[in-house]
Amino acid sequence: MKKIVVAGCGFGGLQFVNHLPKGAFDIMVIDKINHHQFPPLFYQVAASQIEPATISFPIRKIFQKRRDVRIRLAQVLAVNDAAKYVDTTIGRFDYDYLVIATGTRTNFYGNGKVESNALGLKSTYQAINVRNYILHNFEKLLYADEKEGLYNMVIVGGGATGVELAGAFAEMTKEVLPKDYPNIDSSRVQVYLLEGGEHTLAAMSSFAQNYSEKQLRSMGVIVKTGTLVKDYDGELLTLNNGETIRSRNVIWSAGVTGNIIGGIPEEAQLRSGRIRVDRMNRVEGLTDVFAIGDIAYMETEQYPKGHPQLANVAIGQGKNLARNLQRLEAGRSDLKPYEYRNLGTMATVGRNKAVVDLPFVKFKGRFAWFVWMFLHLMLILSVRNKLVIFINWAWNYFTKNNSLRLILKDND
């Protein structure tokens, strides 16, 4: 039986394994964390709107009924294409086919000081960390002598994550903060959204960009476009125009870079950390090594600069590769090139505020917000988690309050 090693169990890796027939391959899934995560809702964990367990799914639970799937908690370090094995933090594993689905991590663009002092939002753990940090700084507002930096909340990066987080924080400061902290002057709390480009939601239509900026500003968010961060020392944020913002709450969502592994030919590596692949997701220069999802860079006629790093792309590539490997094993040569079908993009700004970009129509407002909620619920793995999240959303919608504002950290 052929051995398949899958590095990473995000959207792409999970769908790849799920679309392989049971018992056809000896599959090993290697991931450095023991759960599949749902990145589109990290911001809701950070803003105390949902529980982290509802968007995190233990990998062993997912594959409980798959005796052909083995799980190893480790990090893949390098691939040896000639000898067909991967080196990991717990040893060496042989493969007949290797699928790299390692995703991305936060890109600080080489700014070490920013990386040391800003908060990332690329994992469930980091989302919990943001929640802890923000809530703890609210507590400090009750007794700290220097309060200006605690009052200012800065999100760097105006993509979907930045826009959604800014809207969530704006609602929190107006609806929750006065109830929990009546002795804090909530009117002094400022939420900043800094974007290096000309508009927020750069990957979406001008319709979505204009709507998101207008709604954020109406919610009190200070939106600054064409603005880059030069430095951040943990207290003072310095911008490219010379302006400074004093803040102890800086969340970085300005970009990503691929979690590339060793052994990939240099000519197949991009500066963005992505790996060049052909239309069948085969890594250029290697034989039985494939890359899917955010880590993969595939040029097509419709997408000459590569596909957008979206869940739908990873899911589609995972499914397509699973079918192609079955064709290979059956001795067939009719492999199907991957073709991305754009199903549209969407983003939410806050309660009753969302924008949906579909290929054939664009709409905004309350209906868009309900569509956003429904489609995200459908992507959540388990029925139980769908129900818990729906109940949380419904409770928050009608009460504008919840009881999820827990600071979970070591007292030391």
Q: What is the largest CA-CA distance in the chain?
A: 72
Chain centre distance of CA 285: 29
Q: What is the pLDDT of residue 144?
A: 87
Parallel, antiparallel or unpaired: strands 296-297 and 275-276: parallel
CA–CA gap between residue 207 and residue 187 (Å, rounded)? 30
Q: What is the rounded CA–CA span in Å between residue 307 and residue 242? A: 35
Q: CA nearest 52: which of 130, 162, 120, 115? A: 130
Can you tell me the distance from the alpha carbon of 177 to that of 183, in angstroms, rounded to the nearest whole number?
A: 10
Model pTM score: 0.93
Domain ranges of the chain: 3-32+74-106+256-329, 112-254+351-399
Query: What residues does 249 pair with on adjacent strands?
Result: 153
So what's the pLDDT on residue 187? 87
Q: 27 pairs with which residues across the strands? A: 4, 69
**pLDDT, tens digit, 9 for 90 and up, residues 238-281:** 999 999 999 999 999 998 999 999 999 999 999 999 999 999 99
Q: Return averaged pLDDT per consecutive 10 residues of the chain, 412 residues in all.
A: 96 96 95 95 92 93 95 97 96 97 93 94 94 92 88 95 95 88 89 95 93 96 95 94 94 93 95 95 95 96 92 95 94 92 90 92 94 91 88 84 76 59
The three-point CA angle 51-127-11 to 5° equals: 85
The SS3 of residue 85 is strand
Whole-angstrom distance, CA of residue 229 vs CA of residue 222: 15
Task: Judge residue 64's burial from the number of C-beta atoms within 10 Å of its C-beta, 0-12 exposed, 13-18 middle, 19 or more buried.
Answer: exposed
Q: Check if 3-32+74-106+256-329 and 112-254+351-399 are the same fold.
A: yes
Other Cβ atoms within 10 Å of 384 Cβ, number: 10
Amino acid 96: pLDDT: 96
Cβ neighbours of 392 (radius 10 Å): 17
What is the identity of the amino acid at 64?
Answer: Q
- Tell me the backbone φ, ψ of residue 31, rounded to 5 degrees: -145, 150
Local structure of residue 142 (DSSP, 8 states): T
| Alpha-carbon span 374 to 386, nearest angstrom | 10
88: its two tokens = 């990991």
Helix (H, G, I), strand (E, B) or coil at 400: coil
**Integer Rg of the chain from CA:** 22
CATH number at 112-254+351-399: 3.50.50.100
- pLDDT, tens digit (0-9, with 9 covering 90-100), for 36-50: 999 999 999 999 988
Read out DSSP for 369-386?
A: HHHHHHHHHHHSS-HHHH
Select 3-32+74-106+256-329's CATH number: 3.40.718.10, 3.90.1150.10, 3.50.50.60, 3.30.70.920.
3.50.50.60
For residue 91, CA distances in Å to 46, 77, 88, 179, 332 come to 35, 10, 5, 52, 34
